[in-house]
């Protein structure tokens, strides 16, 4: 059997003749693209490398040319080239709007349009390749201020892996509505007229434009419509570097995947299928960050779990009629499969762009249709290269606490008041009850026997003995006698041998009610990990449960146990000392050794060992977590801060 990779399914591109559908006359080749798509950016690069062009035309005004080309030279660091406008882009006033209401209050300091210098923008890719190949570049759009944006939902660009760009554009064509904005019609006529002018000076022109505009530019080119003059006054442009945390609002692809495109470009690696392979890289990088934060408390994100997550992502994407996932889909799938904290790392990793380096330019903070400049001005911002429309979608995740908040919580901690978190008490007590049941089953296992069937099948047919005595023609049944003895004590050792430096918190807790056990344990220092105001988090290393609860001396202060040498031995000795039953349930990774058996014999006890490996690792990790509350009043809001790994 051979393993097939995603590269086996890639479309093989051979240098072919340019289809007539992509031509305006004999000298102009148009490449209709979806702005902000890495797949279309690769298609632009492929077209330019496979064919010879002596001019590249792009749908941007001439006023942007100098700063845009200078900013492209700063790649892979993403920047924006911004042009202020006389007023922010706002919808027209209607009589239904209130004049004195605050709900439509606009706190912006004006408006602007900008060009995102994004490596995954097809227009930027065309200019980048043209600059590298020393091909003349022309900015042929109409000068407009303010710029009126427009966009429509479009098919997933990943279809280009199976469909040629001319077939893609032809399939989209019937869904495109005629331009209804006056400015858009003027821009289309202007670009068509400029292309006619370029025909007289160049033999092979490549025109890269939006798939929304190309049929109407073609129509205006054929009809030779007159063009409108641009605005007499053109504001100057400014270049800003974008804060790394806000790149997700500027880049067409996720910042992490954009970084993979740039890495493949620098290393000369294959980047044909990064729109899908990048998602796998993202999940793996998020898993590494998740393990780094939670260490031993982290859930095991196995290849099987990642496969389930990828399947979930695929299904959610198909439900939303997409071939590739967006950030919301990735986070939702990660949350459902591996929990809030892994989903949080997926969201943070997706926003991480590793190639942002200082350029000396001022920084701007991007938002959804907003940009905040270094001097504090908040501007309404529209992209000159708009992709499909973006929408806000909510996903509730438990965030990690801020460092300043943690320091404040430490200062306010009362060392004389602490209690447990009731939902965790219930969880660990249910597990203790389950351990008791498993131990009782083991205690009576040696009394199980079989007998011939007479009038009752007892506890079920014993298939093994029935087959063994097949020649007799009789059926044998199992007899499970009632378990002998009782249990009132269980010891759970999660980490053995345990390093005392890892578990400095050692105490004994008494039951608040009759449904709880007397609990003695050693755990990590909860004050080193505060997750909320008055909420600390520790991790059990080992614990002793006495049920029904009885009052005992704190085992860590009891002089009768001073003969022990390790924390595990002290917990085991305390169990033997306080248990009233001859058998004690012991949950541990390995069976009790000779020393522990001698310890039990000293108190005339016997261990009933249950291997820790019989329980799921993720279940054990969750059981080991113990949240300490700084007083019972904290229980009223603890659920709002407690984060599950």
> In terms of DSSP bridges, do strands 489-493 and 535-546 run parallel, antiparallel, or are they unpaired?
antiparallel
- C-alpha pair distances (Å), 84 with each of 62, 110, 147, 149, 247: 15, 8, 10, 15, 20
Tens of pLDDT, residues 323-348: 999 999 999 999 999 888 899 999 99
**pLDDT band per the 50, 70, 90 thresholds, residue 574:** very high
With 0-12 CB in 10 A as exposed, 13-18 as middle and 19+ as buried, what is 21? Answer: middle
pLDDT for the residue numbered 348: 93
Tally of residues, the chain? 645
Percent of the chain with pLDDT over 70: 91
By the 8 A CB rule, do 142 and 186 touch?
Answer: yes
* pLDDT tops 70 at residue 483: no
Inform me whether the pLDDT recorded for 580 exceeds 80.
yes
Query: Residue 368 — very low, low, confident or very high, per pLDDT cuts 50/70/90?
Result: confident
Question: Residue 136's closest CA among 127, 125, 144?
Answer: 127
Neighbours of 283 (CB within 10 A): 24
Mean per-residue pLDDT of the chain: 86
pLDDT confidence of residue 442? 81
pTM (2 d.p.): 0.77
Express as a percent the part of the chain with pLDDT over 90. Answer: 51
> Residues 282-333: pLDDT tens digits?
999 999 999 998 887 788 888 999 999 999 999 999 999 899 999 999 999 9
Residue 124 has pLDDT above 70, yes or no: yes
- Is pLDDT of 97 > 60? no
Closest-CA residue to 138 (of 180, 73, 201): 201
Task: Give the model's pLDDT for residue 229.
Answer: 65
pLDDT of residue 16: 59
- Residue 1: pLDDT band (50, 70, 90) is very low
Q: Which of 144-153, 248-257, 568-577 has the lowest mean pLDDT?
A: 144-153
Query: For residue 157, what pLDDT is reported?
Result: 92
Closest CA relative to residue 435, chosen from 602, 620, 597, 592: 620
Rg (CA), the chain: 35
Q: Give me the mean pLDDT over the 250-270 stretch.
A: 92
pLDDT of 149: 86
Position 45 scores a pLDDT of 93
Q: What is the DSSP string of 482-543?
A: PPPS---EEEEESSSSPPTTT--EEEEE--SSTTS-EEEEEE--GGG-EEETTEEEEEEEEE
């Amino acid at each position: 059997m051979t393993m097939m990779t995603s590269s086996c399914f890639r479309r093989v591109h051979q240098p072919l003749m340019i289809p007539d559908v992509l031509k305006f006359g004999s000298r102009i080749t148009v490449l209709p693209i979806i702005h902000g798509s890495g797949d279309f950016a690769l298609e632009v690069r492929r077209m330019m490398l496979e064919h010879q062009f002596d001019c590249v035309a792009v749908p941007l005004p001439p006023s942007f040319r100098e700063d845009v080309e200078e900013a492209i030279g700063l790649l892979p660091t993403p920047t924006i080239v911004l042009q202020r406008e006389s007023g922010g882009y706002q919808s027209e006033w209607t009589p239904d709007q209130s004049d004195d209401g605050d709900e439509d209050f606009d706190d912006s300091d004006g408006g602007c349009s900008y060009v995102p210098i994004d490596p995954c923008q097809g227009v930027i890719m065309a200019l980048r390749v043209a600059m590298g190949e020393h091909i003349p570049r022309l900015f042929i759009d109409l000068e407009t201020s303010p710029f009126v944006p427009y966009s429509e939902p479009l098919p997933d660009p990943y279809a280009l892996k199976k469909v040629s760009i001319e077939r893609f554009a032809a399939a989209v064509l019937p869904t495109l509505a005629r331009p209804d904005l006056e400015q858009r019609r003027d821009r289309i006529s202007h670009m068509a007229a400029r292309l006619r002018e370029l025909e007289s000076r160049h033999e092979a022109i490549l025109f890269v434009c939006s798939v929304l505009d190309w049929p109407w530019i073609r129509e205006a080119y054929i009809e030779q419509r007159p063009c409108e003059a641009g605005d007499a006054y053109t504001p100057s442009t400014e270049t800003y570097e974008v804060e790394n945390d806000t790149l997700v609002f500027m880049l067409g692809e996720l910042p992490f995947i954009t970084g993979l495109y740039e890495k493949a470009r620098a290393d000369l690696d294959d980047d044909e299928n990064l729109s899908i392979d990048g998602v796998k890289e993202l999940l793996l990088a998020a898993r590494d960050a998740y393990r780094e934060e939670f260490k031993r408390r982290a859930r095991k994100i196995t290849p099987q779990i990642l496969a389930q997550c990828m399947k979930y992502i695929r299904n959610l994407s198909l439900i939303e009629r997409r071939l590739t996932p967006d950030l919301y889909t990735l986070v939702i799938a990660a949350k459902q499969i591996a929990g809030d904290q892994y989903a949080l790392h997926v969201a943070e990793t997706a926003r991480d762009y590793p190639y942002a380096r200082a350029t000396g330019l001022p920084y701007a903070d991007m938002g959804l249709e907003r940009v905040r400049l270094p001097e504090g001005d908040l501007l309404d911002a529209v992209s000159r290269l708009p992709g499909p429309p973006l929408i806000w979608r909510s996903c509730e995740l438990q965030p990690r606490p801020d460092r300043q908040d943690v320091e404040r919580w430490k200062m306010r901690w009362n060392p004389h008041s602490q209690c447990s978190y009731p939902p965790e008490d219930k969880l660990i007590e249910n597990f203790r009850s389950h351990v008791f049941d498993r131990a009782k089953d083991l205690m009576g296992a040696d009394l199980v026997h079989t007998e011939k069937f007479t009038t009752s099948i007892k506890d079920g047919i014993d298939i093994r003995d029935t087959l063994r005595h097949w020649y007799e023609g009789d059926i044998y049944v199992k007899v499970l006698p009632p378990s002998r003895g009782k249990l009132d004590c269980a010891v759970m050792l999660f980490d053995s041998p345990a390093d005392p430096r890892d578990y400095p918190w050692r105490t004994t807790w008494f039951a608040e009610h009759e449904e709880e056990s007397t609990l003695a344990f050693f755990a990590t220092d909860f004050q080193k990990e505060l997750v909320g105001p008055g909420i600390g988090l520790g991790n059990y290393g080992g614990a002793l449960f006495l049920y029904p609860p009885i009052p005992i001396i704190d085992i860590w202060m009891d002089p009768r146990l001073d003969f022990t040498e390790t924390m595990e031995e002290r917990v085991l000795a305390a169990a033997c000392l306080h248990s009233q039953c001859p058998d004690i349930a012991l949950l541990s990774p390995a069976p009790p050794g000779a020393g522990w058996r001698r310890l039990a014999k000293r108190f005339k006890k016997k261990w009933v060992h249950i291997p820790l490996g019989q329980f799921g690792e993720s279940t054990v990790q969750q059981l080991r977590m113990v949240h300490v509350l700084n007083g019972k009043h904290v229980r009223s809001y603890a659920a709002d801060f407690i984060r599950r790994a």
